[in-house]
């Protein structure tokens, strides 16, 4: 299986109306703003997009809208489940909705140490048998409900033919580098995608082929330029871009890290891309100092607002 993941893959937000329902019109406007900035793919219903907090029918609807808007841009669907049969059903549903690949979330059954490699390996194998899509394995920091896999576990997951990449989101540079070295030793190397929003540039220095990141939905064009510069070996120029946007990343991904989703919506609202910053409970909006820090970081990075802010576009009847 092939899937071009070598570039910036934003993990997209989801938009809600004032009543907490999926706002399709606002979502389409958001995607229409994001897609021209050059992402190589989009990740839909991932953690940034509150995928684990949506009903199955909502996830499918969100996914179908994204596929419709994206055209030739591949759509990676977040696959979040609690047990194997549910995961297979969700994988088939995503495939039917037009997804190009799946980001396989860690599940609650992984919690606790030690974790027998047979458990996550069997889970990935079952998903691979249940659908025809390429899979991206996902190592996620425990603070966001994830798990750090052992080297044996990663090796066995990577040996599954459908697995084409690993998203490494431990937020630990030393662990990231150890994972990179492990992948290089595989008989069939897979792509390493950084999910470490706190050291994106450094991830490329250490060999990432791409980035599947929630921060990718902010300053996307700058991150695409940064990635392209690294591919050309123009590291100093790429670092200038990273240092420009790093304070924004630090404001969005501050403590508690779970609020990064809400802070991302604050940033998008300040840019005029969305109007409603509602979250799906029990996730909550942020305000006060946290929101002010995000706005200040946006202004400090000189991120320009949307040319036609969301409110003006809505008033004009733009879909």
Given a cut of 50, is residue 315 above it in pLDDT? no
Q: Which domains does the chain have, with CATH numbers?
A: 8-233 (3.20.20.70)
CA distances from 316 to 213, 238, 272, 307, 308 (A): 32, 38, 15, 14, 10
* Residue 47 predicted with pLDDT over 90: yes
> Given pLDDT bands bounded at 50, 70 and 90, which one contains residue 203?
very high
Report the mean per-residue pLDDT for the chain.
Answer: 94
Q: Whole-prediction pTM value?
A: 0.94
| pLDDT of amino acid 314 | 44
Q: Which residues contact 137 (CB under 8 A, 6 or more apart)?
A: 104, 124, 154, 157, 158, 163, 165, 166, 167
Say yes or no to pLDDT of 318 above 50: no
pLDDT of amino acid 308:
63
pLDDT confidence band for 309 (50 / 70 / 90): low
């Amino acid at each position: 299986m092939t899937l071009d993941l070598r570039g910036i893959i934003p993990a997209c937000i989801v938009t809600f109306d004032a009543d907490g329902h999926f706002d399709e019109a606002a979502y389409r406007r958001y995607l229409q703003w994001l897609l021209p900035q050059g992402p190589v793919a989009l990740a839909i219903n991932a953690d940034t997009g509150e995928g684990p907090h949506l009903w199955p029918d909502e996830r499918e609807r969100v996914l179908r809208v994204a596929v419709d808007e994206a055209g030739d841009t591949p759509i990676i669907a977040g696959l979040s489940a609690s047990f194997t049969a549910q995961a297979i059903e969700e994988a088939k549903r995503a495939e039917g909705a037009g997804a190009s690949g799946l980001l396989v979330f860690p599940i609650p059954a992984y919690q606790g140490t030690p974790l027998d490699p047979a458990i996550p390996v069997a889970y990935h194998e079952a998903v691979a048998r249940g659908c025809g899509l390429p899979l991206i394995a996902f190592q996620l920091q425990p603070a966001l409900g994830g798990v750090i896999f052992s080297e044996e576990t990663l090796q066995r997951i990577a040996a599954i033919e459908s697995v084409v990449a690993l998203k490494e989101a431990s937020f630990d540079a030393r662990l990231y580098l150890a994972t990179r070295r492990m992948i290089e030793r595989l008989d069939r190397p897979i792509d390493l995608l950084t999910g470490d929003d706190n050291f994106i540039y450094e991830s490329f220095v250490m060999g990432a082929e791409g980035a599947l990141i929630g921060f990718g939905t902010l300053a996307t064009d700058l991150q695409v330029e940064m990635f392209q510069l690294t591919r050309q070996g123009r590291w100093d120029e790429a670092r200038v871009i990273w240092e420009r946007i790093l304070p924004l990343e630090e404001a969005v991904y501050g403590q508690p890290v779970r609020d990064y989703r809400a802070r991302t919506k604050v940033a998008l609202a300040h840019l005029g891309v969305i109007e409603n910053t509602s979250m799906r409970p029990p996730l909550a909006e942020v305000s006060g100092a946290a929101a002010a820090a995000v706005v200040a970081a946006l202004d400090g990075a000189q991120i320009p607002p949307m040319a036609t802010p969301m409110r003006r576009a809505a008033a004009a009847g733009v879909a």
